[in-house]
Structure 1
């Protein structure tokens, strides 16, 4: 693997590449120009040309490429120049710039919770929203436990446009994505050139090289190649290389005189990225008006429990054999993908469009989660009884007794940690989308027709290898493991480990998954254009099967015990922790059921003038539940069949409508929406299942104005959301769903001069509740990012970028529903201030 990293870095350091355009645009451009003939994919295959004029052509989750003002779907885009200048630290931070998209971007480069317009985040990931690359899903299900889709995505110089469709036709032109689709569209070489960039943190340790290049091999053949490599602590100091790895992507396209094309593409990603889970923070004041304060020696927005002295753990693997796992691997995606796109003209105006991709996906997810935090002596006595003693178990003081526990780490605290350690053995998927589209005259108008078939197979093979340890609460990568002994000096822990299991979660969660899900879906659309009126309707019929098996004592006593005595370190001595070794039972529970459901969407768009349009749309889409149903009350563990057939699919019903305006460098879009959502889910951190309905209504606004060197893009979404029904916890009915703010917004002013560009990116949210009981609030916050770019010579750009310039605490998640005794909660915050600089050379 090291050889691959060196080869990738060498390739990027040596390749010549071009400059990006300097204009930054987070909404569609103001031209109606369609994609040029040399950009064959832009019309109907989910890709797009590199001509800026094509940005106003909607290509994601629609039947055929459509001008934004002629479409009854809500769409926004971010172009490559915006991505470069704003320099978001993660893909999640980038997506916060899309109106209507709520992103809890506090988990690092992956593991973000993403939702659309009031749709819930009952657990994690992006359940109702699909992340795509070039029109096909990264994963069939966006909320696979510890395998969220964004973990396997990296936005780099290969990206031409990020396009989002909220609601609407996402229900019928993609499976399992009724809330929307976000599509990362790659450059394909129509624009000759590329760029080479080196960048690094000025106040944090991360160094990165980006490169891309594209162009023509002949009049009919284009290509593009690009990637990145990086290394460092990441945004928070941890004392080791917590981010290291990179990506390389390439494609080649052959176009034909009849408008057809064929494209081959590939991707290899091998990147380790630290995953930030909730950390301790003190809360004062009241539940309704709290103040979140850093603990002495530990900052909630700049520190993490990761540490250089806590790098690996001893546990059992999926075959119950001893293995040493590395915490430094963090979120570790390994993806090797190859794909094909082609458009085949079959008659005048009729085309077959085929997209296929196979992705070999594996890796892991490893990060510490504090099950509880308390005073050091109290934690010690809870484990070792009255008068228990504490000793350092790692670091330079290893073996020494802690004489004054109340001063330990500068705050006198210890964290009982459960290490979320998951071996992602296979998330392989294969997807295929084939469609026939065209149009015929009908009276004074035109009838467009699309029919197609989608098929995919998604593997979910993973082993949960959780273990536990006790550590100090210190920032700067200085935390250490701590051993506990009884008052008589008898060891209770071994190298900080009280049990080789999820001891602080009741020894749960030693699991094995070996599942596969097959999805098939015929779909069809009719669209009628009658002068200024566009009508369209579409249907999608999904039918699927879930097969495989799971193992784990969480299934019940009939499936075996999960705790054994084991000499896990092989020294011939059984210690107290070695009497609590988690094992995966040999008896497995089958999974065996089929499901089917119908989705539909219908819309109307009325072009009032060349610059103004009105639209309305109603949709119903489904989302098949996947691995989160297992180990729960909806599956019969003996047969693998559904106990409740309705548990297989959750439906989202949406009504939306609004007005669009674009003329003279000004664009304004306003959409009112209503949604009713079914939700059955499981959350790993709380071990809770959900079975409820939600309702949300609100307004989404988006606009852009450009005048000379000045431009301003802005968006905001107001949402009134309620829990309408809860089978398992009726007490929360009528409450606002947790972490759902009433208003989120983004504003990006920018000035573009001859040699200097500068601007800001302002992201904000109003307050929300930490949990569904609606007691403890998470305060609203505004994050201000800024950038300045200087071009000392042609094709050379120096950029300084500041993220969260005012170092605000932006609390996105709190485990507790009310302020506990002692005032310490476990929360995730956006990262504090980070400053980076980049030198880009264009060719």
Structure 2
């Protein structure tokens, strides 16, 4: 790297202050109290003394990592630009221990850590933060993962990640770890503008950033991006449209600082869901291939001919949305961060309010079948097929067996998710004091965390019928009986979930979280020993409406969707909310988290540590509409359903000397899991299943860096042995490997850099895993190579060529079916094929 390497290290239990790239702790322009937490950059010259590496996320106080007892990593901004990432998930998959399924597009990726289960979507056990506060209080709100509301651009100074350890006590709902995106703050003066274009895919993007001092004690930073284009898959329209702007201003004073910051995000991105794939061979040794006229790496079922989403809003009124808006988040946030001295105490206060809303439309195939078979199933003998949309609208499909060369139709779930409010308020106040005792230093910290998370959303699911073809050419299809009686309406088979009341819902719920916490850390000589504790108590109040709640509620009824005065068959199958019969939500929960560890600095370059932690993750919307919460009074019927506990043990060794960094951490982890999981029934059809089980995992992480002259290498790997340890509903699954859990995941970035150019590759890979918990169908392992070349022809000018998935590797992150069906077709999500971009950057 030009400036740094990727480190695995640790941090103590003491005061947490912000970390910012580009300024060392010795910078005289930065107040000492803030500079203590800044990330010092590693020396490039191996003969010079090694600088300290300071880390501040998920701990009490930033300190050199070799003096602490946690497992941490950081990615600098100049490293991140080399990855050629097309989404945040493709950046975060470079953190050892983190499993990121980067197949959904810009947001709604799935994340896990250290063998903790990825039973569903989102990041249940892993919290995503911006500048030290969570983006959302819960990482797995249905359809609204935190990364939907986050973007990586030139504002980003670095990414910090803590795995296990004190993450469970210095943040709520983060027992597995915390990943924190830290913004630039103008401590390095100057800026940049960068233009990027996709050479073999649709992208046009402009990024900018600028920071400067307004006086000796006042500085600011502003930056953002705007983009448009089709994106890395062929969908037939500009699926990417929008951008963000971030701003902060910092006032320094004796003993501290105060910072105000804001963010505006308004962005539209497509959501890539499962698509058809052909499969032959055996479950243990499958062979996957494209079906005719559909490329799993470049196509999706998104199309300009499937754009009119007709649904019911939260008041059962007919509305129409444009599917081309895809996932459309809007964020307006404002925050204040300050640190000051009060006597012998250091006070740190962080506050942020975010006005968050979103709209999402996406389609998931429920059934793939020959066109003639689906026509017969819905319309009986002699049923007729015709196009409902597209350039052939109204035209009969006379030879279904040869349709698009594959003869297939897909019956899919078209989801319209309107989120009126995900407003999030968070406040974290803490006080720290260092005491000189017995020749050592005792650091004490006490704090109080408070958050309020709104969830006001409307779900309206409909069922559609489309052909299966790539290139953005898919269209909706109609079915009529042999006598010409319509069975579908404009390609819709029902205005519900396949004719049922399932998942027609409205939420209006508030999650209130309070958490006092404290820590002590005693450092004497080569030994640092400490512990921390956190007590979370939460209140969940509001109401929900559901066509599927039962108990005399409305469910399915006829609605004249198109207003023609006639009720068609699909209109007779409309799921409607019981607006006069809400189900209350009213329950409380509480849990205790703790962590304790010891670190021994064997010598200047070597340290060892041990840690034991227990943390928990409170349930959010996923236990609503389940037997855990009463539909009569909103009380918690199953107290164990309110949260899932995680226990972790860590043993580690860290070495850093003369351009070499080596870190090894062994871990044991166990947790319970109550969740909603999308998998497949025995016949291969898609189903949603409530699960309640326990998991355990053990393994070892490695992270290292090497630098000699112009050559550098950063690398990481995680080896995990995980299993399902308990499942009362499915005892046959006990001792099975959890789905998607590979034994080995790995990353490596070798590069050669001079003043004139930089060349290298970012390599990311995984061994095989099972598609589902039944441990039948295997998903093959794969390795992707992302190549990069930077050329600096003049001062402050840089040209960059980046190839994501350079060798066009086929890699699956998700397969819905647990075994090969008789049809020889599954639905799956694969990583994108090769995409090449070119950028030009001017620094000033």
TM range (shorter): over 0.9
Structure 1 portions without partners, runs of 5+: 1-20
Distance in 1, matches of 2:728 and 2:230, equals 44
Distance in 2, matches of 1:556 and 1:715, equals 50
How many residue pairs match? The answer is 818
Contact 1:188 1:223 in 2 (8 A): yes
* Secondary structure of the corresponding residue to residue 231 of structure 2: coil
Distance in 2, matches of 1:738 and 1:767, equals 11
Contact 1:25 1:81 in 2 (8 A): no
Are 2:564 and 1:584 aligned? no
Contact 1:466 1:501 in 2 (8 A): yes
The Cα of 1:191 is off from its aligned counterpart by 0.4
Distance in 2, matches of 1:688 and 1:438, equals 50
Q: Tell me what 2:648 maps to.
A: 654
* Secondary structure of the corresponding residue to residue 66 of structure 2: helix
Q: Tell me what 1:17 maps to.
A: none
The Cα of 1:38 is off from its aligned counterpart by 3.8
Contact 1:732 1:772 in 2 (8 A): yes
Distance in 2, matches of 1:413 and 1:170, equals 49
Contact 2:52 2:64 in 1 (8 A): no
Distance in 2, matches of 1:253 and 1:24, equals 26
Q: Structure 2 matches for 1:60-71, cutoff 5 A? A: 60-71=57-68
The Cα of 1:687 is off from its aligned counterpart by 2.1
The Cα of 1:33 is off from its aligned counterpart by 5.9
Distance in 2, matches of 1:551 and 1:246, equals 34
Query: Residues 452 and 37 from structure 1, CA distance in 2 versus in 1: closer, same or farther, beyond 3 angstroms?
Result: farther
> Which one of 85, 91, 110 corresponds to residue 107 of structure 2?
110
Are 2:342 and 1:346 aligned? yes
> Which one of 550, 563, 574 corresponds to residue 567 of structure 2?
574
Contact 1:296 1:410 in 2 (8 A): yes
Q: Tell me what 1:25 maps to.
A: 5
* Secondary structure of the corresponding residue to residue 602 of structure 1: strand
> Which one of 293, 308, 319 corresponds to residue 304 of structure 2?
308
Q: Tell me what 1:716 maps to.
A: 717
Contact 2:235 2:304 in 1 (8 A): yes
Distance in 2, matches of 1:653 and 1:52, equals 33
Q: Tell me what 1:329 maps to.
A: 325
Contact 1:177 1:623 in 2 (8 A): yes
Query: Residues 55 and 501 from structure 1, CA distance in 2 versus in 1: closer, same or farther, beyond 3 angstroms?
Result: farther
Structure 2 portions without partners, runs of 5+: 11-21, 44-50, 680-686
Distance in 1, matches of 2:449 and 2:357, equals 24
Distance in 1, matches of 2:24 and 2:251, equals 23
* Secondary structure of the corresponding residue to residue 641 of structure 2: helix
> Which one of 252, 264, 269 corresponds to residue 273 of structure 1?
269
Contact 1:50 1:191 in 2 (8 A): no
Distance in 1, matches of 2:187 and 2:8, equals 19
RMSD of aligned Cα (Å):
1.8
* Secondary structure of the corresponding residue to residue 233 of structure 1: strand
Query: Residues 230 and 32 from structure 1, CA distance in 2 versus in 1: closer, same or farther, beyond 3 angstroms?
Result: closer
Q: Tell me what 2:27 maps to.
A: 36
Q: Structure 2 matches for 1:153-552, cutoff 5 A? A: 153-256=150-253, 258-348=254-344, 350-503=345-498, 506-552=500-546
Contact 1:51 1:191 in 2 (8 A): no
Q: Tell me what 2:774 maps to.
A: 773
Contact 1:26 1:713 in 2 (8 A): yes
* Secondary structure of the corresponding residue to residue 608 of structure 1: strand
* Secondary structure of the corresponding residue to residue 492 of structure 2: coil
Distance in 1, matches of 2:498 and 2:554, equals 15
The Cα of 1:695 is off from its aligned counterpart by 0.4
Query: Residues 209 and 28 from structure 1, CA distance in 2 versus in 1: closer, same or farther, beyond 3 angstroms?
Result: farther
Q: Tell me what 1:18 maps to.
A: none
Q: Tell me what 1:640 maps to.
A: 634
Query: Residues 42 and 826 from structure 1, CA distance in 2 versus in 1: closer, same or farther, beyond 3 angstroms?
Result: farther
Contact 2:583 2:633 in 1 (8 A): yes
Distance in 2, matches of 1:345 and 1:44, equals 14
The Cα of 1:51 is off from its aligned counterpart by 6.4
Q: Structure 2 matches for 1:678-757, cutoff 5 A? A: 678-683=672-677, 686-757=687-758
* Secondary structure of the corresponding residue to residue 172 of structure 1: helix
Alignment TM-score, normalising by the size of structure 1: 0.95
* Secondary structure of the corresponding residue to residue 687 of structure 1: strand
Distance in 2, matches of 1:49 and 1:657, equals 24
> Which one of 582, 605, 616 corresponds to residue 610 of structure 2?
616
Query: Residues 604 and 217 from structure 1, CA distance in 2 versus in 1: closer, same or farther, beyond 3 angstroms?
Result: same
State the Cα deviation string for residues 646-696 of structure 1 (Å, max 9, x = none).
111110000001100001010000000000111111136732111111000
The Cα of 1:52 is off from its aligned counterpart by 6.8
State the Cα deviation string for residues 578-618 of structure 1 (Å, max 9, x = none).
11122111211111111111000001110011100001100
Distance in 1, matches of 2:264 and 2:757, equals 36
Contact 1:44 1:65 in 2 (8 A): no
The Cα of 1:40 is off from its aligned counterpart by 4.8
Query: Residues 141 and 29 from structure 1, CA distance in 2 versus in 1: closer, same or farther, beyond 3 angstroms?
Result: closer
Distance in 1, matches of 2:548 and 2:783, equals 42
Q: Tell me what 2:684 maps to.
A: none
State the Cα deviation string for residues 380-412 of structure 1 (Å, max 9, x = none).
111111221110111111100011111112211
* Secondary structure of the corresponding residue to residue 243 of structure 2: strand
